[in-house]
Chain A
Amino acid sequence: MSYSIFRVIKEALNDHKGWGPAWRDPAPKSHYDIVIVGGGGHGLATAFYLASRYGLRNIAVLERGWLGGGNVGRNTTIVRSNYMLPGNEPFYELSMKLWEGLEQELNYNAMVSQRGVLNLCHSDAQRDAFRKRGNAMLLQGADAELLDTDGVRQLYPYLNFNDARFPILGGLLQRRGGTVRHDAVAWGYARAADRLGVDLIQNCEVLDFRVENGATVGVETSRGFIGAGKVGVAVAGSSSRLMSKVGIRLPIESHVLQAFVSEGLKPVIPGVITFGAGHFYLSQSDKGGLVFGGDIDGYNTYASRGNLPVVEDVCEGAMGLMPMLGRARLLRSWGGVMDMSMDGSPFIDRTKIPGLFFNGGWCYGGFKATPASGLCFAHLLATGTSHEVASQMRLDRFARGAMIDEKGQGAQPNLH
């Protein structure tokens, strides 16, 4: 049943007794045409687009825990398409366009809020780099606006403009960027996929792949063997662990990224701000909490928690950008495990084993990519060829010397 204002009124008059579960809880069938491993944002989006755009029906999503219990429920909810390189920007701009139509397509309120993402610059060189990036964005059909100090001051008069070391010289503004309610993205894709007949199977951990005559024929799970024509893996955070079952070593290290939220405050920050002198980004949720984060901790880990030095570093970034934040109290912090790839860019590709497809390596930029990742992975699974905007996100790009390295840091995952 569709959600609408009429439905809300009808249910309100009936004490909200008629809503019912948003999706089914089916038992796994013995065989599916396509099995998606991982019921996070990317896996659910993949299933939805397979069903809605490629007309496939016999699909299952297998999730170890509960839907949306991983990084899609842990991020800082920012969406933007302010990348520079041709291997990335068309992909993220497609994602931005999908975000803009997402709620109508899913019939679900995901609280897509295009409140503007502003990257601040603090030196002439950084402004030049932003101008270059902004022009690259415009060339790919995205929006970008270079602000001077006064332009920034009109938006955010309370920032630390005259800091001796890091004066704010301007910023690159993407007005179409913003935030999206992260859990609602997972739930919206789940509900929409379920309504198209996709089986969403929770508490079903994939333990191994079954390979016969060199090709994938299914997955071994905690709920028994499930046959599959094709298997798509979208388990960022656990990619290396799962792919090692079939002897695939990935250009990925796992790192933890922490995020933070303050106590609820009155509206003060209308958009998303990133501090260019450190690594710090900040927005305010509709509940009033300031949501912010910074760097990854920088060492291999699978523990979904970080250490205090990064907490201190993030809070220093906050104070450097906006000294009045010192009066706000930190409410919570948490961590999520990232697939940090060797060039800071993701993978949507087939593997050396026929029938086994891989989606991962999202570093800490996976949330904004959710719709395009789902669409491109669905395209790959359905047609066997890469979607044109994801054609460079290949696993063999290092061997070919075709890295997509936005920052030019080289093969050092904790620097991306």
Chain B
Amino acid sequence: MLINHPLLGPRDAQEFVYKGDARLLQRPDAMVEDSLERFTDYAYNRDNPAGIHRELWYHEQGDRSWLVVTRNTLTHEIVGVELASEVRL
């Protein structure tokens, strides 16, 4: 798979470390009453969709940026790549 890095152009997916669902960027509020349940759900449960999936890839062997890659889990087609720092989920 080639990931079209917004700054560096197409890079081999082997240069990256895969972290998982991009919703991990949305940490729950620790100060609300049911924060324990929210954090358990955040840390352990996943939507795991068949189809379009937004996910985190870390360019460890490159510029060490975090990317949000939008990819189809049925076909492996990558339809969008953004810098995680610029993403609004």
Chain B interface size, under 10 / 10 to 19 / 20 to 34 / 35 or more: 20 to 34
Is A89 part of the binding interface, using a Cβ–Cβ cutoff of 8 Å? no
Cβ–Cβ < 8 Å partners of A300 in chain B: 20-21, 48, 53, 55, 73
Chain A interface size, under 10 / 10 to 19 / 20 to 34 / 35 or more: 20 to 34
Cβ–Cβ < 8 Å partners of A342 in chain B: 43-44
How far apart sit A359 and B20, CA to CA, in the bound complex (Å)?
23
Is A253 part of the binding interface, using a Cβ–Cβ cutoff of 8 Å? yes
> Given contacts A249-B46, A251-B45, A300-B48, are A413 and B40 in contact (CB under 8 A)?
no
A302 touches B44 (CB 8 A): no
Of B14, B37, B44, B48, chain A has the most CB atoms within 10 Å of the CB of B48
Partner of B44, one of A244, A251, A299, A301: A251
User: From residue 2 to 25 of chain B, which have CB atoms closer than 8 A to chain A?
Assistant: 13-14, 18, 20-21
How far apart sit A251 and B48, CA to CA, in the bound complex (Å)?
9
Cβ–Cβ < 8 Å partners of A254 in chain B: 48, 50, 73
Cβ–Cβ < 8 Å partners of A375 in chain B: none
A interface footprint on B17-59 (CB within 8 Å = 1, 0 otherwise): 0101100000000000000010011011111111001010000
Which residues of A does B touch, CB under 8 Å?
240-241, 244, 249-254, 298-303, 307, 309, 342, 398-399, 411-414
Cβ–Cβ < 8 Å partners of B55 in chain A: 299-300
Cβ–Cβ < 8 Å partners of B40 in chain A: 398-399
User: Which residue of B is nearest A403, CB measured?
Assistant: B44
Cβ–Cβ < 8 Å partners of A253 in chain B: 20, 46, 48
Cβ–Cβ < 8 Å partners of A241 in chain B: 48-50
Cβ–Cβ < 8 Å partners of A414 in chain B: 18, 20
How far apart sit A252 and B47, CA to CA, in the bound complex (Å)?
8
Cβ–Cβ < 8 Å partners of A299 in chain B: 13, 18, 55, 71
Cβ–Cβ < 8 Å partners of A309 in chain B: 13-14
Cβ–Cβ < 8 Å partners of B75 in chain A: 303
How far apart sit A298 and B73, CA to CA, in the bound complex (Å)?
12
Cβ–Cβ < 8 Å partners of A399 in chain B: 37, 40, 44
28 residue pairs of the A-B complex, CB under 8 angstroms, read A240-B47, A241-B49, A249-B41, A249-B45, A249-B47, A250-B45, A250-B46, A252-B48, A253-B20, A253-B46, A254-B50, A254-B73, A299-B71, A300-B48, A300-B53, A300-B55, A301-B73, A302-B73, A303-B75, A303-B76, A307-B13, A309-B13, A342-B44, A399-B40, A399-B44, A411-B43, A411-B44, A414-B18
> Given contacts A253-B20, A300-B20, A309-B14, are A398 and B44 in contact (CB under 8 A)?
yes
Cβ–Cβ < 8 Å partners of A302 in chain B: 50, 73-74
Is B89 part of the binding interface, using a Cβ–Cβ cutoff of 8 Å? no
- Extra 17 A-B pairs, beta carbons < 8 Å, given A240-B48, A299-B71, A302-B74: A241-B48, A241-B49, A244-B47, A249-B45, A249-B46, A251-B45, A252-B48, A254-B50, A298-B18, A302-B73, A303-B76, A309-B13, A309-B14, A399-B37, A411-B43, A413-B20, A414-B20
